[in-house]
Amino acid sequence: MSKIKVMVIDDSALVRQTLCTILNSDPGIEVVSTAGDPIMAAERLRTVVPDVITLDVEMPRMDGLTFLQKLMSQHPIPVVMCSSLTELGSETALKALEFGAVDIITKPKLGTKQFIEESRVRICDAIKGAAAARLGPLRAMRTMKEISPKYTADVIMEKPNANAMIQTTEKVVVVGASTGGTEALKVFLEMLPEDTPGIVIVQHMPENFTAAFAKRLDSICRVTVKEAQDNDTVVRGRALIAPGNHHALLKRSGARYYVEIKDGPLVSRHRPSVDVLFRSAARYAGRNAVGVIMTGMGDDGARGMKEMFDAGSINIAQDEATCVVYGMPHEALKQGGVNKVLPLQSIAVEVLRLCS
C-alpha cells in the first residue's frame, strides 16, 4: 500500500519538526510538505495534494477555522486539528469539528518515554483514521506501527461471569465512538427526550477536550450532558462522557449504577477505551444494557461488545453509509456481538424502544 501523504501546517517550527519526526516514524505515513501559516499552505496546495492535513488552530495571517472553511468549500481534504490544551483552544477545535475537521490531536511535547510513545500512537492513528474518512457523512450530519504489547481490557478488569447478569427494571445505555463520532453523538443525543435512560459514552478525544465537548452538547440537548467524574451516578436524563486520558467503567451497587474513572495503560490503543466500558457493562449490567457502537477507526469496542452480547445485552452498530469511518462497527459485526445495524438517524429511536 502507498504511504499516507501528510501536510503539516503550524506556525511553530518546533511543532512542525516534532510532528514530522513522529509521523515519518510510521512506515505507512510520509510528510510531503509543511507550512508556517495557511497562506503559505494554500500556495503549496497548488502543487502538492496530500491525503491528510494537520492544521494548527491559532496562526498568523489567517486562523485555522477560516482556512478550514475555505478548504472544505473549495478543495475538501481530511483535516486533523492540532491544538494546545487551553480552554480557548478546546472550544475552537470543537468548532472546527463542526466545520468539517475529522479529528483533534494535542500538540506534541516532551515527556517520559511512555508519554512520547503513547502520543506517537494517538497522532499516527488519528492520521490513519482521517485518511480512511469519507467526508460525505460529515456533511450529511451537519444537515440533519502498533505499540507492544497491545493490551486488552484484561489489564483493567476481569472478564464478566454469569452471576453478573441479574436483571433489574432499570436499563442503561453505553456508547462507543471515535473518528467522526463527535458529530454522530450530537445527532444521537439531540434526538433523545429528557427521561432517557442513563447513558455512558466513550468518545476517543484528548484530555481536556471532553469537558468542552460535554458542555457544548449540554447546551443543545434535552438530556443533561457532562464529563464523567469518579462515582457519578448513572441516572435518567443524563449522559456521562468519559474524560480524555482516563478509562470509564460502569459499576453497580445494589440498584444504583455509577461510573468509576481510573488510569491504566492504553487498551486497544486508546484511553479511554470502548472495550473497557463495554466489558464493565457486560459484567455489571448484562441484559439490562443496550450497547451502541458508532463510526471510528480500528477495533476498539468489538471484543467488549461481544462480551455484552454474550451477557444478554442488545447491541446496535451504526451502518456503513452513515459512518465517516466504518471500522469499529464493522469489527464488532465480525466478532458477532451486534444485534442490529442501523443508520445513524434511526439509532436513538431504537434505543428508546429497547429501553421501554
Q: Any idea which residues carry the catalytic annotation?
A: 178, 204, 300
The angle that helices 181-190 and 209-218 make with each other, rounded to 10 degrees, is 30
Q: Dump the DSSP string for 18-84.
A: HHHHHHHTSTTEEEEEEESSHHHHHHHTTT---SEEEEESS-SSS-HHHHHHHHHHHS---EEEEE-
Residue that has been written with the C-alpha cell 478509562 in this structure: 247
Question: What nine digits make up the cell of 283?
Answer: 459484567
Cα(121)–Cα(277) distance, integer angstroms? 21
CB atoms within 10 A of CB 129: 25
Cα(90)–Cα(96) distance, integer angstroms? 10
The angle that helices 181-190 and 344-355 make with each other, rounded to 10 degrees, is 50
Instruction: Please compute Rg for the chain using Cα positions.
Output: 20
Bridge-partner residues for 296, per DSSP?
326
Burial 75-108 (b: 16+ CB within 10 A, else e): eebbbbbbbbeeeebbbbbbbbbebbbbbbbbbb
- Which residues does 32 contact at the CB level (< 8 Å), separation at least 6? 5, 6, 7, 48, 50
Strand, helix or coil at 349? helix
Question: Closest Cα partner for 339 from 303, 304, 312?
Answer: 312
Q: How far is CA 315 from the centre of its chain?
A: 18
